[in-house]
Amino acid sequence: MIKRLAQTFSLTLLLGLNPAWSTEQETDAVTLQLKWKHQFQFAGYYAAKEKGFYREAGLDVTIVEAAPGVDPVREVIAGRAQFGVGTSELILNRYRGDAVVVLGVIFQHSPLNLITLAESGLDNIHKLVDRKVMIEPSSAELFAYLFQEGFTHKAFNLQHHSLDLNDLLSGKTDAMSVYVTDEVYLLKQQGRAFNQFSPRMSGIDFYGDNFFTLAEQLAEHPQRVKAFRAATLRGWLYAMQNPDEIVQLIYDRYSQRHSIGHLQFEAKAMHELMQPELIDPGYMNAGRWQHIVNTYRQLGLLPADFNVEPMLFFPSSELDLKKLKTKLYYAAAGLSLLALLSVILFRFYRKARINEARLNTMFDHAPLSLIVLDDQNRIQGWNAEAEKTFLWRAEEVLGKHASILVPPAKRQDIEKILADVHKDRVISQAKNINIKQDGSEILCEWLNAPFKDKHDHSNFIICMARDITEQRRLEQKLEYAAHYDNLTALPNRALILEQLKQALAAAARQKTKLALLFLDLNGFKAINDTLGHEAGDTLLLTVAQRLPQAIRECDFAGRLAGDEFLVILQDIGARDNAEKVSGKLQALISQPCLLKEQSICVGASIGISLYPDDAADINTLIHQADQSMYQAKQASPTAV
């Protein structure tokens, strides 16, 4: 929603004060330097500007496109821009002394790839030896990929990147770095088959576009930086939810260098790299940045003691979530390592012909639970880690059936899994609840692999188990944090919109009416400005606690952003019923709230839209409720 901040604040009713408020909101002029020319690659910034998100945040943002040879970092350092868009090479800028600070990540995976024409026969990365290769500046992930594959600087003929795809098509170069969101479209349009080589093929996974500022800017203008970041992320969310609208906007107002079809291709390709339904735009992980640092270190571009943390900006409200995600990231990495180790051990059991004592030592001291079952699923091997995980000593379980580790209700399922391993001779993977010696339950991930003894007489299964109870707890906590507002504990924007989508589908199936209430507090900014953000947070929390009191259990309430809330009323019958709920909500919200030892009363402007009377699709329904709310705000002399 676009905030209406050009109205007069009326704090006389709120605080018993009578200050003079300007009818015009002053805006802070700043410049954003892009890293390339106008195209969908920068859609979120255009959306934030054209939809008024920057203006609502008090910013007048000028978006400047780049040209060949323009370095966004140099533009920001020189003061010609306050914000810029860069690659993961911002790490190298930081190491060289440029005080860059990354505010958010847009592409979770770099769109930079190497391509060759299929007709060239260069269908393997190693065939590029002694070939002509064009790699654009700031492409460390591609060099890391090549070096990982055994290339040296002398292994190929590195050419100056012309930024002209025709050089590849005409044979002036054999391989060229491209953005899979951009140049690939032209190849497909011309029907030219091509080979694609991604650094991810070699385990090198860099972030793509990142927006940044300087540490000096953050220190001197913290509110400006936070406002720019929040509005930018809001713009990216809008752009990825409404790609066709933003495609047309770019074509009409910014550049016709790319056709509508080209821009639409960009939008779709970017969606794959961003996964906005799963990962919020702007999200970044310190562990992933450390992975990038380690890659640069292997290339000899960074020292061993380089610390990436100081160049990453995380708002205070996200710090706990950041730590949680980092824990989960390393837990997942650890699980992958252990899974790899298990495969090695499985092969070792089947193929190795070494001293039995050494084999037993490796088995007993493996850093994961290893259990050997015979063809009757009786326990024949039980290592030290299994004792720690399940609390039984080896002598207590050897010879017993493996079902002692499983709750009775699940034993039949486990029997079938093991029977399939014996029969089909394939490795199986499963997660299930297990019982420890003390009767407590844990969640474990299992890998079960078949093997025969050295005389090939008996069928055995070697099982790897890892306690993932804590990991699942972290995942559940992370899932909650991703769907519920950190301050109010109400469903956040993503969840309330998903609930609206499901409610509309149910209403369509059952042929019932649904009401959507768009709620915006009156005078919220004035309270923030006079009493501080802590008081504003207290007010938001109070309102969030009051909302459920006015609706039924089958209805939903969630926080969109700031002081905006959505309420979904299912099977409402008629508009009159929705208006009654609206009146009840207004009465509850207007009850006094104690802020900084002052009793404050605020109101709310509420807009109503009805499905299917006003609209049949989610975006139009929200827009209608938004417009209805705006009209209610305009009609109230005290609504600000």
Q: pLDDT-based confidence at 448, cuts 50/70/90? A: confident
Is the pLDDT higher at 289 or at 320? 289
| Side chain identity, residue 148 | Q
Q: pLDDT-based confidence at 456, cuts 50/70/90? A: low
- Token pair listed for 438: 């003390």
Taking the C-alpha atoms of 314, 320, 322 and 328 in order, what is their torsion angle to the nearest 10 degrees?
170
Say if residues 461 and 448 touch (Cβ distance below 8 Å).
Answer: yes
Q: Check whether 27 has a pLDDT greater than 90.
A: no
Determine the straight-line distance between the first and last CA of the chain, rounded to whole angstroms: 15
- The pLDDT value given to residue 123: 87
pLDDT tens figures, 568-578: 999 999 999 99
Percent of the chain, pLDDT > 70? 87
Average pLDDT over residues 351-379: 72
**Rounded to whole angstroms, what are the CA distances from 525 to 8, 522, 540, 597?**
11, 8, 12, 19
- The pLDDT value given to residue 325: 57
At the second CATH level, the architecture of 334-472 is 2-Layer Sandwich (3.30)
Is the pLDDT higher at 336 or at 497? 497
- Token pair listed for 141: 């992930």
Q: Name, in order, each residue with C-beta under 8 angstroms of 445's C-beta and a sequence gap of 6 or more.
A: 335, 429, 430, 431, 465, 466, 468
Tokens 């323009």 sit on residue: 70
Average pLDDT over residues 240-244: 94
Q: Check whether 359 has a pLDDT greater than 70.
A: no
Per DSSP, 121 falls in state T
Q: pLDDT-based confidence at 336, cuts 50/70/90? A: low
Say if residues 103 and 30 touch (Cβ distance below 8 Å).
Answer: no
Q: pLDDT-based confidence at 328, cuts 50/70/90? A: low
- The pLDDT value given to residue 314: 85
Q: Pairing between strand 83-86 and 28-33? A: parallel
Q: How many helices (H) and strands (E) does the chain have?
A: 24, 21
Q: Check whether 11 has a pLDDT greater than 70.
A: no
Q: Check whether 324 has a pLDDT greater than 70.
A: no
pLDDT tens figures, 263-317: 999 999 998 888 787 678 998 888 889 888 988 888 788 998 899 999 999 875 4
- The pLDDT value given to residue 23: 36
Q: Check whether 22 has a pLDDT greater than 70.
A: no
- Mean pLDDT is lowest, of 19-33, 203-217, 465-479, for 19-33
Q: Pairing between strand 441-452 and 369-373? A: unpaired
| CATH 3.40.190.10 domain extents, the chain | 11-107+207-313, 112-202
- The pLDDT value given to residue 621: 93
Average pLDDT over residues 173-202: 89
Question: Is domain 11-107+207-313 in CATH 3.40.190.10, yes or no?
Answer: yes
| Side chain identity, residue 113 | N
| CATH 3.30.450.20 domain extents, the chain | 334-472
| Side chain identity, residue 571 | D
Is the pLDDT higher at 546 or at 323? 546
Tokens 């399922």 sit on residue: 413
pLDDT tens figures, 40-96: 999 999 999 999 999 999 999 999 999 878 899 999 999 999 999 999 999 999 999
Q: Check whether 451 has a pLDDT greater than 80.
A: no
- pTM, rounded to two decimals: 0.51
- The pLDDT value given to residue 241: 92
- The pLDDT value given to residue 251: 96
Closest CA to 15 of 617, 630, 599, 622: 599
- On average, the pLDDT of the chain sits at 84
CATH topology of domain 484-635: Alpha-Beta Plaits (3.30.70)
Question: Is domain 112-202 in CATH 3.40.50.300, yes or no?
Answer: no
- Mean pLDDT is lowest, of 211-220, 337-346, 446-455, 500-509, for 337-346
3-state helix, strand, coil in the chain (%, to 5): 45, 20, 35
- Token pair listed for 255: 């550049």
Q: Name, in order, each residue with C-beta under 8 angstroms of 362's C-beta and a sequence gap of 6 or more.
A: 345, 348
- Mean pLDDT is lowest, of 37-46, 142-151, 414-423, 518-527, for 142-151
- Mean pLDDT is lowest, of 64-73, 335-344, 553-562, for 335-344
pLDDT tens figures, 627-639: 999 888 887 755 5
The highest-confidence range among 14-23, 412-421, 479-488, by mean pLDDT, is 412-421
- The pLDDT value given to residue 290: 87
Average pLDDT over residues 108-115: 90
- The pLDDT value given to residue 65: 95
Percent of the chain, pLDDT > 90? 46
- The pLDDT value given to residue 638: 58
Average pLDDT over residues 502-528: 91
- The pLDDT value given to residue 343: 56
- The pLDDT value given to residue 335: 56
- The pLDDT value given to residue 361: 64
- Token pair listed for 492: 């956040």
Is the pLDDT higher at 212 or at 108? 212
- The pLDDT value given to residue 17: 35
Q: Check whether 318 has a pLDDT greater than 70.
A: no
Q: Check whether 482 has a pLDDT greater than 60.
A: yes
